[in-house]
Structure formats: C-alpha cells, structure tokens
Amino acid sequence: MDKNTRICIVGGGPAGLSAGMYLEQKGYENYTILERLDRVGGKCWSPTYNGRRYEMGAIMGVPSYYAVHDVEEFCGITHDGPKLNRNYKNSKGDVIEPFEPKKNILKIPRLLKMKKQVKKLGEILETKYKGYDVNGHRGVAEGRYDGFSQANAKREPISGVNPNLKDLCLPFSEFCRINGVELTQDIWIGPYTSFGYGYFDEIPAAYVLKYLDFQTCMNFVKVNLWTWKNGTQYIWEQLNDHLKHPARLNSTIEKVERKDGKVFVTVNGQVEEYDKIIVTAPLYIPNKRTDGQKGMVEYFDAREDEKALFSKIDYERYDVLAVETKPEDHPEISYYVFENMQKERLGHLMVYYRRWKDTKDQVITTYALRKHKDTKEVPYEACRQMVLDDLKTMHNPASNVINEWSVYYFPHVFSKDYADGWYDKVEAMQGKYDTYYAGEVMSFGDMDETAEYSRELVERFF
C-alpha cells in the first residue's frame, strides 16, 4: 500500500492509538485519529482524587502484555504503580481464604483435585489445543489457527490446522466439562467474571482462553501484576503525546460515506476525505445509550453484510462506582467476593479495589455485572443500590459516591454465532469497503488484546 495513503482511525482508545503507532512505525504518517470524547484512553480512565489518580476502568497488566510493553518502549515509560494484593470475603462479609488448605481442612480433597486439573488444563492447552492463544479469532470455528503467537514477546506469525480448536466455540463451562477440568473455573473466575466479562455458562471459551491464556492467568494467580502510578490512562495519554498526529478530541462523526474508492467523513459538520478507514469504536450497540454513544452501523453507510453480521454483537452491562468511606470504614486491602460472581447473584458487588495502601484519604472502586443472556437485566439504579448495600455487609460502607460509570463493555458474540463462523466472515470483509474493523470485538475487551490486534491488522494489510 502507498505510504501516503490517507487513513482515518475512528476511536482514541488503546486500539486506535496503537493503530496509529504501528502505522507510524511502518512509515504511514498520513493518518488522523478521531475521538468523540474530550480525553484519550477509552476504557482506561484514571480520574484524580486528592492529587492521586484512581481507576474507573482498566486497573492492571501482566508481563505477557506485550503490546502494552511496545507502547511503554515507544514512549519511554514503565509500569511504576503501587503493588497490588487482594483478599477474599464471602457474601456475608466474612474474610475467607478459599485457596489455603490449612484454613479449609474439609476442602483439602477439592483443592488437591483443583490443583491437578489446573496442571491438566495447562498441558492440554499446549497440546490438544495448540494454536489457541494466537491473537484474534481467525479460523477457530473452522478448526485452524492463523495469527501471531502470544507465547513470548517475539509474537511470530503461526498457522496450522487443529480440529480441536472448534471446542473453543463452546461456553467455557462446557469446554471445562468435556475436558474434565471443571474446577479450574474456581481460578479463572477471579480475573474473568469479576472484571466484567460475563459468566462461564454463556461466554465462548475462546474469549476466556485468549485473554486468560495459561501464562497470563498464572500471573494473576501469583499477583505478578503491573500498574502505573498515574493510572492506565497515562499509558495512552503518553502514547498520544508521542504520536506525530495526536488524536483530535471532541470529534463527533455524523456521517461516513464510502464511494468511488474514497471515504468521506463528516466530522463536526465538516467533510473530510480519506482513502481508508479503520474502525476501533463500537460496530454495533443493540440498545440506545444515555451517553449518546452509537455503533458504526448507525452513522456509516452500512452495507447489508455489515448490518447482518454486526447485529449479532452483544455487550456486558458492567458498572463501576468510586466511593468515599469514613477512615474507620476504609478497607485495608482489595477484596474479591466469589459468591457474588454467580449469575444467581446478578447485580451484586463482585470485587472492590483499594489502589493506595499508604492513605485512607482515597476512594475505593466497586464492580458489578447486571446482565446474563438468559435472565432479565438488572436495572442500573437497582444494581447501584445493591452494591452500596453490599458494602455495608462487607463492613466498608460508603459515605459518598464521587464517580460512577456504566460503560459499553466487552462486545462479543455468543456460541452459536461464533461456531457459525462470525469471525471468519468479518475477517473476509477486511478492506472490502476501504474499511478495516478493529477494536475490542475483533480480539477481546482488554487493553493489551485490542492493541495487539491493531498490530496484527497493520502487519496484515498495510
């Protein structure tokens, strides 16, 4: 492709900014990043309270976040934030230690069995499911793999045929059952469901295992985590500052027309002409949002194949509250509440997070899911009240809510559409209308997977 190609990138989150970085590194400098908000970072949002930043979105990373490390190197920054740790409570607010045999004598047989199953899962992922951990979902439904390996920082391109990969189309709970590793869900649920990515009986195993590949999950288990002093948003603010063409903020795209080999973007009332467009913003939002965010099919001249495929996308209703407490009620550590990570406890507090250990004059953030595909969605206000009530039960009542966010979160498709080849159909459309589809739904809804997919997209097509 001509290095002077005019490229419009929709979205200034990790996917869009990374696309700009990787394009720039390949010699494409005629790009424009349009961001509708007044900030960059997308779901990496780190506001300030009493002079320190706290997290409303992404919290942490791990050493296998290779794309995030690319950004760190590009910007000359590093993961310099507070060391994290956590403990556990039951739904009654009692501190528990679910993985400590000495504290759970009656559970020792189950814990030993779980340990064996975790080892077994690690082994079958490397053998029976070879190729499971490439970035993106190309070929999975057809029993093949094609992408960049995430086994190490080299991320070399690999491809091959492995019919067993079709099992990844199944819900994760079913995947675990057919492989005899049901108890591994006790481990994977912490960094998965509590982080807002849905429940194991509804989400295809591919999403779970491409995000929480074995080494990534073990890093979470061992608390081998990265954080950033100025928050995860700082990573993307720094990247934006280091790009030759920083994102244009407050850019409202009203219309996109693709005709005669050109892309005409009406932004803030002005028509701009490009040769190609990369969409990292949502492709489809199935219900009207109060924040005005729209899916691509609503403002593009969407074709019938785009409408048909993107209408299959759903997303999680994942809510975050930032609350103050009285000093005597401030938690001494972050807590997971495993009992509240079941669909029967929809809308309840799953985890609450204390970022700074050296002071109680900071907020804590709370996280709750209020949607499962087979149950009625919990209304936002009802969920909010449940979380505040749960904090009282946890003995850490909130004295004030200072921030709240119900964000468009983890776009995905369910098992039937996944197995029917949704991803291969979308991948076959890449570039078809001078349009490329990136962002969360094409990989996974965390900052590293989305940035990694942008890297792969640039390598494949530019």
pLDDT digits (tens, 9 = 90+) for 307-336: 999 999 999 999 999 999 999 999 999 999
Q: Do the two domains 7-48+228-313+413-461 and 103-221 of this chain adopt the same fold?
A: no
Encoding tokens for residue 156?
Answer: 């070399």
Residues 6+ apart with CB under 8 A from 70: 18, 21, 451, 455
pLDDT tens-digit map of 221-242: 999 999 999 999 999 999 999 9
Pairwise CA distance, residues 274 & 256, whole Å: 10
pLDDT tens-digit map of 426-459: 999 999 999 999 999 999 999 999 999 999 999 9
pLDDT at position 100 is 86
pLDDT tens-digit map of 84-110: 999 999 999 999 998 888 877 888 999
H helices, E strands: number in the chain: 14, 18
| DSSP symbols for 33-83 | EE-SSSSS-TT----EETTEE--SS---B-TT-HHHHHHHHHHT-----PP
Pairwise CA distance, residues 56 & 47, whole Å: 7
pLDDT at position 107 is 85
Residues 7-48+228-313+413-461, CATH architecture: 3-Layer(bba) Sandwich (3.50)
pLDDT tens-digit map of 196-222: 999 999 999 999 999 999 999 999 999
Burial of 60 (0-12, 13-18, 19+ CB in 10 A): buried
Pairwise CA distance, residues 380 & 395, whole Å: 23
Residue 187 near residue 115, CB atoms below 8 Å = no
pLDDT at position 171 is 98
pLDDT at position 125 is 97
pLDDT tens-digit map of 19-65: 999 999 999 999 999 999 999 999 999 999 999 999 999 999 999 99
pLDDT at position 104 is 77
At 254, the amino acid letter reads E
pLDDT at position 435 is 98
State the pLDDT confidence band at 133, using cuts at 50, 70 and 90: very high
pLDDT at position 233 is 98
pLDDT at position 374 is 94
pLDDT at position 81 is 95
Mean pLDDT of the chain: 96
CB atoms within 10 A of CB 327: 9
CB atoms within 10 A of CB 18: 30
Angle 85-89-93 from CA coordinates, rounded to 5°: 135
Pairwise CA distance, residues 208 & 195, whole Å: 12
State the pLDDT confidence band at 385, using cuts at 50, 70 and 90: very high
pLDDT at position 295 is 96
pLDDT at position 40 is 98
pLDDT at position 105 is 84
Angle 18-24-26 from CA coordinates, rounded to 5°: 110
Q: Could you tell me the pTM of the whole model?
A: 0.96
Backbone angles phi, psi at 232, to 5 degrees: -65, -25
CB atoms within 10 A of CB 223: 12
**CATH (residue range 103-221):** 1.10.405.20
Pairwise CA distance, residues 126 & 189, whole Å: 21
For the chain, which residues make up each domain, given as ranges? 7-48+228-313+413-461, 103-221
pLDDT tens-digit map of 265-318: 999 999 999 999 999 999 999 988 888 899 999 999 999 999 999 999 999 999
